[in-house]
Homo-oligomer: A and B are copies of this chain.
Amino acid sequence: MPRTVAERTDALPALAEVFREHGYEGASLSIIGKATGLGKGSLYHFFPGGKEEMARAVLAEIDGWFESHVFAPLREDARPRETVAAMFDAVETYFRSGDRVCLVGALALGEVRERFGESVKSYFERWLDALSVALVRAGWSGTDARALAEEAVVGIQGAIVLTRALDRPDLFQHIIARLRERLDAPSNGEPFGNAS
């Protein structure tokens, strides 16, 4: 851990954890200062826009990570089954089996929708679109691919809520495992009833 933070990028991981743990309103500058090891002077040097700019920087970092590690491969890679499997791997690792909150999802539920609404919306839209593309490439119909993509992202977000509520990481892994099976291959039969 560097005593001196050379770039604001270096502060983003700790910053992200603070926002995840305390939410936007609950993340006070004193908590942020302790978590990052930075005084207010340094914080405002790196983030002249204050807390809101810090949150936007964190959101952008999270978005960039998912874009390059998850969304882009789903959209562009020619091996859809591998990238879907890699998506679930990434989700299990990233959210630490539901122990770590999805900040984007938390902001969607939370207090400050209109402030970060556009970023939140774009994140989930691109996730759904990219996953749909991969599923179509894997052989699902467009309609089924959409429905399954929604089911997967909904399942992941819901699993985080329930896992934290019940404090049961095994539940998270169980739900992810079930989603893996269901998205695996269209040849296993029609997914369910009328996917209108």
Contact = CB atoms under 8 A, between A and B. Distances in A.
A193 B182 CA distance: 8
Contacts of A188: 193
Contact of A158 (B22, B125, B158, B167): B158
Contacts of A105: 109, 161, 165
Interface residues of A, number: 49
Contacts of A125: 166
Interface string A143-178: 000010011011111111110111100010011001
Contacts of A195: 178
A25 interface: yes
Q: Top 10 A-B pairs ranked by shortest CB distance?
A: A158-B158, A154-B158, A108-B165, A26-B111, A157-B158, A25-B26, A157-B161, A25-B25, A23-B111, A181-B193
